Structure 1
Amino acid sequence: MTETQSIAVIGTGNMGRGLARVLAAAGHTVFLGSREPERALAIATELGAGRMRGMGNVEAASRASTVFLAYHSNDTLLEELAPVTEGKTVVDLSTYHEEPPPDFNPLTQVPAFESSQERTARRLPRAHVLGAFQVTWAQLFDAPLLDGRGTPVFVVGDHAGAKASLLALIRTLPFEPVDAGGLQQARTVAAMYFLVTRLAHRYGFREHGHDWRTFVRALDVLLPPVLGLAP
């Protein structure tokens, strides 16, 4: 088990709250960031059990060694974060920053457009930008175990040291990290996200009591061969 860390989670939506909660439950110190510090403070007080503090985005990132971006990034915030993330690991949770064209087929195509992770890396060139939790729906933070196993989390990135540290961090949580290759593989992970969400809308499995974990487990089988990883 890796030693506890100081971690910033930027974003107080469902993903940010869920991730911050499981990180705090694992013993890590969490700085929850928001554009509205009072909102972050209230959520941290409610969820943190003494291990979470709420504050503004820049302050949260400045206090942490690892920064999770739990929102669809925008240039203004990334500019604000750039000076306080130099040399740090920044993990972008976003699946995409633009919609695919209507004729995009996630079974046979990888998005040609830049992934959110690649875009963040361009905006934060002095940080070690990784991608993780892109296909982890917020509901999974409430019940991440399926048949006693943690839900898989696909990790992409080009910085070997930062990736190794993130893989170790995720192992302290009720999730199973999978090294899914370099940062450009975030496009493949996004394609799998589009596939699962289209299936969800077509067959309405959320409305019929099916479990997101079952579909993420399916990705655990489907995605590694697509990424060229050994079984």
Structure 2
Amino acid sequence: MSTTIAVIGATGNMGSAISKSLSKGNYHLLLNAKDETKLGAVLGDIKKGNPAANVKTFDYSANASWEADVIILALPYGAEKEVAQRIKGIASNKIVISISNPLNETYSGLVTSPDTSAAEELQKLLPDSKVVKAFNTTFAADFSSPVIAGKQVDAFIAGNDGQALQTVSELVSTSGFNPIIAGELPVSRTLENMAALLIGLTIKYNYNWVAGWKVLHN
């Protein structure tokens, strides 16, 4: 049986990139977004590239989440709380992926305090869910170019549940990246700071939003 994945916020840059990448795998995708016209366009793009893709759209995040095994919140940090409250009752025991980076208005740092992260805050909002941090250190453009300068981009993952981490690692791999399990959920503080640094470097050195992290080792 294929894993069912709900992507909440599927029309954003990251949400659409994730959706299109995962549509290539053996998954049942449920896509949700506020703008139904844009959502239909994402669905059309997926079907055009892969007519056999197992994907459909929903007009309400709770409906999309109901039958999902994995819920990806492809949302800005500021939108997570509202959606978490909406899906809390049906997200129990499910994997919920936080991709957000709580950046300040100037992209110079994070609005969260050093002793927490967006993912940890989401875990408090969804205490019965298995929150995993993933996809936050990759740019949307990287999904179509996951190999940069001859190196496969690493995508870091953090969470407290071992089986959830393995499941998310498979999603990351399907998306074209090299998955690295970085540690338990508090490690997401570091991952969110890594994203802020990469964004700052991209702006400073004009990487054209095709950039990523790579751990080089023997």
Query: Which TM class, normalised by the smaller chain length?
Result: 0.7 to 0.9
More displaced 10-residue stretch of structure 1: 36-45 or 81-90? 36-45
Q: Give distance in 2, aligned partners of 1:57 and 1:143.
A: 29
Q: Hey, what does 2:62 align to over in structure 1?
A: 58
Q: Hey, what does 1:224 align to over in structure 2?
A: none
Say whether residues 1:172 and 2:178 are aligned partners.
Answer: no
Q: Hey, what does 1:92 align to over in structure 2?
A: 98
The amino acid across from 1:167 in the alignment is S
CA contact 1:154–1:179 (8 Å) conserved in 2: yes
Say whether residues 1:83 and 2:106 are aligned partners.
Answer: no
Q: Give distance in 2, aligned partners of 1:216 and 1:69.
A: 22
SS at match of 1:180: strand
What does residue range 24-43 of structure 1 map to in structure 2 within 5 Å? 24-37=23-36, 39-43=38-42
Q: Give distance in 1, aligned partners of 2:201 and 2:172.
A: 27
Structure 1 pair 191–125 and aligned structure 2 pair: CA distance change class (3 A): same
Q: Give distance in 1, aligned partners of 2:90 and 2:39.
A: 19
Q: Hey, what does 2:153 align to over in structure 1?
A: 151
Q: Give distance in 1, aligned partners of 2:194 and 2:113.
A: 10
Q: CA deviation at 1:70?
A: 0.5
CA contact 2:73–2:80 (8 Å) conserved in 1: no
The amino acid across from 1:216 in the alignment is W
Q: Give distance in 1, aligned partners of 2:194 and 2:160.
A: 20
The amino acid across from 1:57 in the alignment is S
Q: Which runs of 5+ in 2 are unaligned?
A: none
CA contact 1:111–1:191 (8 Å) conserved in 2: no
Q: Hey, what does 2:80 align to over in structure 1?
A: 74
SS at match of 1:143: coil
Q: CA deviation at 1:148?
A: 6.1
Q: Hey, what does 2:116 align to over in structure 1?
A: 114
Cα-Cα RMSD: 2.7
CA contact 1:33–1:58 (8 Å) conserved in 2: no
Structure 1 pair 202–172 and aligned structure 2 pair: CA distance change class (3 A): closer
CA contact 2:101–2:136 (8 Å) conserved in 1: yes
Structure 1 pair 40–103 and aligned structure 2 pair: CA distance change class (3 A): closer
CA contact 1:7–1:31 (8 Å) conserved in 2: yes
Q: Which runs of 5+ in 1 are unaligned?
A: 222-229
Q: Give distance in 2, aligned partners of 1:31 and 1:185.
A: 29
Q: Give distance in 1, aligned partners of 2:22 and 2:36.
A: 20
* Alignment length (residue pairs): 209
